[in-house]
Amino acid sequence: MRRLRRAQQRDARESKKFRRGVVTAGTAAVITLGAGFALNRSIAANVPDKHQLPVKQDADADFLADREEFAIGYKPFVADQNRNGTLDGLELSIRCAAIIAQLPWEDDAAPGATCKWHAPQFGLETCEICGQTVNMGPATIVNPHLGVEVKCPLIAMHYMEHGSFNYAGDIQRGRIDVPALMRALELRFPGEPDEHQLPVSANDLDGDLLTDNEELAAAHNLYDADQDKDLTPDGIELATQCAQVIEALPVHEPNEPGVGELYKASFMQRASNCAKYAASPSTWATGRS
Ligand SMILES: [Zn+2]
Query: How far, in whole angstroms, is CA 129 from its chain's centroid?
Result: 28
Lowest-confidence region among 30-34, 102-106, 220-224, 236-240: 30-34
What is the DSSP pairing of strand 269-270 with strand 115-118? unpaired
pLDDT at 119 (0 to 100): 95
- What does the pLDDT look like over 152-202, one tens digit per residue? 999 999 999 999 999 999 999 999 999 999 999 988 766 556 677 788 888
C-alpha 152 to ligand 1 mean position (Å): 15
Q: Predicted confidence band at 267 (pLDDT cuts at 50, 70, 90)? A: confident
φ, ψ of residue 150 in degrees (nearest 5): -125, 125
Q: Predicted confidence band at 233 (pLDDT cuts at 50, 70, 90)? A: confident
Q: What is the reported pTM?
A: 0.59
- What does the pLDDT look like over 22-39, one tens digit per residue? 333 333 333 333 333 334
Q: Predicted confidence band at 7 (pLDDT cuts at 50, 70, 90)? A: low
C-alpha 134 to ligand 1 mean position (Å): 10
User: Which residues neighbour 91 within 8 Å (Cβ) at sequence distance 6 or greater?
Assistant: 36, 39, 43, 82, 84, 163
User: Which residues neighbour 22 within 8 Å (Cβ) at sequence distance 6 or greater?
Assistant: 30, 31, 32
Burial class (CB in 10 A: 0-12, 13-18, 19+), 167: buried
Q: Is the pLDDT of residue 15 over 60?
A: no
C-alpha 102 to ligand 1 mean position (Å): 20
C-alpha 101 to ligand 1 mean position (Å): 16
C-alpha 50 to ligand 1 mean position (Å): 9
Q: Is the pLDDT of residue 218 over 80?
A: yes
C-alpha 136 to ligand 1 mean position (Å): 14
More confident position, 41 or 234: 234
CA distance 74 to 80: 10
- Bridge partners (DSSP) of residue 251 are 264
C-alpha 128 to ligand 1 mean position (Å): 7
125 C-beta neighbours (distance < 10 Å), count: 22
C-alpha 14 to ligand 1 mean position (Å): 25
C-alpha 116 to ligand 1 mean position (Å): 20
C-alpha 73 to ligand 1 mean position (Å): 30
Q: Is the dihedral of CA 68, 175, 41, 31 positive or negative?
A: positive
User: Which residues neighbour 217 within 8 Å (Cβ) at sequence distance 6 or greater?
Assistant: 29
- What does the pLDDT look like over 63-110, one tens digit per residue? 999 999 999 988 899 999 878 888 999 999 999 999 999 999 999 999
